[in-house]
Amino acid sequence: MKAKVTWILIADGATAKVFEHTGPGKGLRAVDDLMFEQTPLKAGEIMADRPGRSISSMGSGGRSAMEYSSDPVAVRERRFVENVAEELDRKHQQRAFDQLIIAAAPTALGDLRPALSKGLRETIIAELPKDLTNLPTPQLGQHFDGLVAI
């Protein structure tokens, strides 16, 4: 009987890593081609231009600064996790893994959930709303105790 291959996604809004677990006592192995990273930017670095100004049609015809309609940092991070979800879906369709565990910063996890395909969602055995992206690989195992036998 073939052992189940479990992939563990560790992510936040700028970094994502996938680790593979193939059975008890085998530990976690980084999946080489599934390391994603984007440079974290502040809103001012994303939006070089200031928002425009509007003229009031009521009253004295005053001018006021317009507000941006969305947080550009949040939009950028959401797009990042959506790209990660697309790549995971491609790998799932190639039958690269049987089940998935997701450990992601709460905001990234919230962005990731709607981006996951139905088939990918069906492989998820656990979700942890934790940012583990800065932990060394040997310390990751303790966070998945009881989910997989590291």
123 lies in some domain: yes
Q: What is the mean pLDDT of each run of 10 residues along the chain (150 residues)?
A: 86 92 87 80 52 54 54 80 93 95 94 94 95 89 80
Helix count and strand count (H, E) for the chain: 5, 7
50 lies in some domain: no
149 lies in some domain: no
Domain that holds residue 98: 6-39+59-144
83 lies in some domain: yes
51 lies in some domain: no
Tokens coding 10:
């560790």
Helix or strand or coil: residue 123? Answer: coil
How many structural domains compose the chain? 1
Here the CATH number for the domain that contains residue 108 is 3.30.420.60
110 lies in some domain: yes
